[in-house]
Amino acid sequence: MSRPRIFIDREEIARKVAVLAARIRADYEGKNPVLIGALKGSFVFMSDLVRALDMPLAVDFISVSSYGNGRESCGEVQLIQDLKGPVQGRDVLVVEDIIDTGLTLACILENLKKKGAASVKVCALLDKPSRRRVPVHIDYIGFTVPDRFIVGYGLDFNEGYRYLPDVCLLEDDC
């Protein structure tokens, strides 16, 4: 496997995480939100964001999939792992690595609505609006990206490339 080309380097990501954390900290001042990471891709971004927030919060994870082993969303979202703790009456911030078609996020938001969250906001490191199939609102966006296949910084292709510290493009997609 060839090494993908850097698209957004780790220093730029760190600066953006700090900016997002400052906005979130201000919006949630005096609150104790639950941050819900969408597994698996969000785990690197979420850990950096949690450290940058430096405020009282809870953390939980949900795992849904619409990709399987391919590059294209199959359009069908499967809940693989639900939340471990309750969110009823809590302020929730969903942390996503990338919003693509919007199908996965819409599924997560519907799940949280059914569970009675007091409020739900969304923070995404990457937004790819050109691929949107369902409308979703994103409250905090790190970077808007073109319709290219992106890996690294927790994002994968067939479970590979998550370890890369930068957001990268696969070489055959350049």
Which residue numbers are catalytic?
A: 100
Structural contact between residues 141 and 130, judged by C-beta atoms closer than 8 angstroms: no
DSSP 173: G
What φ, ψ does residue 83 adopt, rounded to 5°? -60, 150
Distance (Å, whole) CA 90 – CA 112? 10
What is the CB neighbour count within 10 angstroms for residue 58? 13
Cis link prior to 40 (omega < 30° from 0)? yes
Structural contact between residues 53 and 21, judged by C-beta atoms closer than 8 angstroms: yes
DSSP string spanning 111-171? HHHHTTBSEEEEEEEEE-GGG-SS----SEEEEE--SS-EEBTTB-BTTBSTT-SSEEE-G
